[in-house]
A and B are shown apart, each in its own frame.
Chain A
Amino acid sequence: MANEIADSTPVVAARRAPHYPGTRVVAFVLLAAFAVVAPFVLTEYWIKAIAIPTIIFGLSAFGLNLVTGYAGLISMGQAAFMALGAFTAVIAYGRFGLPLPLAIMLSGAVAALVGVIVGTPSLRIKGLYLMVATLASQFIIIWALQRVPWTGSGSFATLNAPPVRIAGWDVSTPTDKYFLVLAVVALMTFFGYNLVRSRVGRAWMALREHDVAASVMGVSMLQYKLMAFLVSSFYAGVAGALVVFGHTGAASVQEYELDVSIKILGMIIVGGLGSVLGSYLGAAFIMLLPILLAILMQKAAAAIGGTPAAVDTLANAEHVVFGALVLYFLIKEPKGLAELWHRLAAWVDSKVYSFNGAQTGGKK
């Protein structure tokens, strides 16, 4: 059934690119520069509590986008894979003394391995059936982590990691951790960006749209669907490791329950399915949401002259707003924040060109 109505599956390259990068390149350069100086201009609180987790979740969201946005396979288990990565990280680094880079890679690998197993049903089942399989996996993995002896014990199984060092560099201050996280995420984002613009990315998108047609063109459904789960879970695993080494210093199972998987799903819906930029925009938006809400509600309370809201109410308000945002973007802006950005950038481009007296031609 052909549906002309918006379905959120854009691709960066499908857009008509301007004659030279223009606004987008400028924005990218500015962002990169800001990212490098951020620890020196933002307060420690902003770095520790906002920037670092946002970047980490951005990576996890990007991973989810690969399997759900590009390959079209809904996964409700991204948080569980992060958990696997987190615990692997602590055990590999803390208990077995592996060097940090190796521990991080191992975290990704373990998550990837489980991810492939979880993804195996995707060869026989599609859509919502697959969703239930990933949902089941989310529950089972967390349940198992809570019962396996190596991960502490009980519902709040937590393992603490020893102080983080790489080759003599003590990663102890927030600034250190920030750069560690930034470096890993930048590297993996570069890799992923190349991947989605290569034949692998095209194969995924083709499978998403018409898997039979794709396979007739030579794309192996088996190989590429499993590959999607593998890569996506790898990213989640690394993100989990970064939570340990760059954020909380511990792997704690209750941080990776179903609601976190849903949150990450919300990030890519809001940010833009099938978009690299969208993954990070969505992550930033959802991570900043509680702060925005808190400020708004405080202002509102002050305006009405009432008492500031309780923590509970805030958390619930977040839920409501989160759900409303997801619905809004699904219905009205299916290509997400990434598309909004592209429209803005295109508009700025046109203004810049006309300011310079250049021909703008017909703007699409």
Chain B
Amino acid sequence: MGELMFGIELLITGMLIGLMYSMVALGFVLIYKASSVFNFAQGAMTLFAALTVVGLIPHVGFAWSLLITAVVMCVVAVGAERIVFRPLMGSTQLTIFMGTVGFASILEGAAQMIWGTRPHGLKLGIPHEPLMLGEVYVSKPDLISAAIAGLLVIAIVLFFKRTKIGLGLRAIADDPAAAQVVGIPLHRVWAVAWALAGMVAIASGVLWGSRIGVHFAMSLIALKALPVLIIGGIDSVAGVIVAGLIVGAAEALGEGYIGTHIGGGVQDVMAYVVALLFLMFKPSGLFGQATIQRL
């Protein structure tokens, strides 16, 4: 197989993974769009959801475990909105961010206290033989995961554009005071945003879990969605998709070409290096509004 094929394979695999990053980043975007809150706890929520699913499977099977986890995540998300973030309303963005850091800590500790700290595997029952596209190997699980992620992203975009609550979210993000005046129930909408982020956490947790296993490092994977957010533009759903593809591709290509020379591990930092470059030169990202205050 030629160099080019190798490169294309890397690219495709990378982009498929990238879509999964996009999906995780979507959880961040949901909450940011609704309340201008950077939810550091999205990673912890992903871990919590994944552990819950995995923990329940032996007892009630996959379908039920998903359902129950959905309910649990709703409770967690709504609880977070009510107990943690409502009291912090009116504080600075940084203060609220630190609140999400605290919340993340609670979730991570609680998740592992309840479900234990052993890594768990997660089998989704997708056959492992790779697909052949021309001369290029594509992993089936990756493809299916990416497809699910893509569907989820489309669903959320439609949600924002078509449903009443979605529009409410955008209104609130734009101008909370005006939205209230018009009668949009601030807290209910926020609760929905958080609950949706919880659902995204479940999807991310399950898909990533099937890929790398369910364990503590999962919250670090979710953190990688932050560079995706930055590169794409923090409030742009389209940006999140494109950025995810870019990050995934950059990671795969970086690892494949540079990694072999320096002993591997390029994929761990690639996303952050690219994000840092964007922050230095184009902080609003690819699609974000350039409303970052200049000196």
A: residues with CB less than 8 A from B are 3-8, 72, 74, 120-121, 123-129, 131-133, 135-137, 139-140, 143, 146-147, 221, 258, 262, 265-266, 269, 312-313, 316-327, 330-331, 334
Contacts and interface: CB of A to CB of B under 8 A. Distances in A.
A123 B281 CA distance: 11
Contacts of A120: 280
A266 B100 CA distance: 12
Nearest to B90: A5
B109 A143 contact: no
B35 to A, nearest CB: 13
B279 to A, nearest CB: 5
14 contacts: A7-B95, A123-B295, A125-B279, A125-B283, A128-B93, A147-B263, A147-B265, A316-B110, A319-B109, A321-B109, A323-B103, A327-B84, A327-B99, A330-B99
Given A6-B91, A125-B279, A140 B273 contact: yes
Nearest to A128: B38
A121 B277 CA distance: 10
Given A120-B280, A125-B283, A330 B113 contact: no
Nearest to B109: A319
A265 B97 CA distance: 12
Interface in B101-120: 101-110, 112-113, 116-117
Given A129-B230, A317-B113, A143 B268 contact: yes
B275 A262 contact: no
Interface in B97-154: 97-99, 101-110, 112-113, 116-117
B160 interface: no
B234 to A, nearest CB: 8
Nearest to A259: B105
A326 B103 CA distance: 8
B54 interface: no
B33 to A, nearest CB: 14
Given A5-B91, A7-B95, A139-B269, A327 B103 contact: yes
Q: Is the interface of B mostly helix, strand, loop or mixed?
A: helix
Contacts of A269: 98, 102
Given A74-B94, A317-B109, 19 more contacts: A6-B91, A7-B91, A121-B276, A124-B295, A125-B292, A129-B230, A129-B279, A131-B38, A131-B97, A133-B280, A136-B276, A262-B101, A320-B105, A321-B109, A322-B102, A326-B102, A327-B102, A327-B106, A330-B98
Contacts of B265: 143, 146-147
A324 B94 contact: no
Contacts of B106: 319-320, 323-324, 327
Contacts of A123: 295
B280 A128 contact: no
B90 A136 contact: no
A128 B109 contact: no
A265 B101 contact: yes
With most chain B CB atoms within 10 A of its CB, the pick from A131, A265, A269, A323 is A323
Contacts, number: 151
Given A125-B279, A140-B276, A143-B269, A318 B109 contact: yes
Nearest to B283: A125
B169 interface: no
B42 to A, nearest CB: 13
Contacts of A128: 38, 93-94, 97
A312 B103 contact: no
Closest 3 CB pairs of A and B: A319-B109, A323-B105, A326-B102
Nearest to B276: A136
Given A129-B292, A147-B265, A74 B97 contact: yes
Given A3-B91, A319-B105, A133 B268 contact: no
A364 to B, nearest CB: 24
Contact of B226 (A132, A327, A330): A132
Interface in B29-65: 38
Nearest to A123: B295
A238 B223 CA distance: 29
With most chain B CB atoms within 10 A of its CB, the pick from A8, A72, A125, A266 is A125
Nearest to A309: B113
B87 interface: yes
A120 B246 CA distance: 25
Contacts of A321: 109
B157 interface: no
Nearest to B99: A330
Contacts of A124: 280, 283, 292, 294-295
B4 interface: no
A127 B96 CA distance: 11
A211 B103 CA distance: 30
B91 A132 contact: no
B38 A331 contact: no
A124 B294 CA distance: 6
Contacts of A330: 88, 91, 95, 98-99, 102
B163 interface: no
B272 A3 contact: no
A72 B223 CA distance: 23
With most chain A CB atoms within 10 A of its CB, the pick from B87, B101, B117, B262 is B101
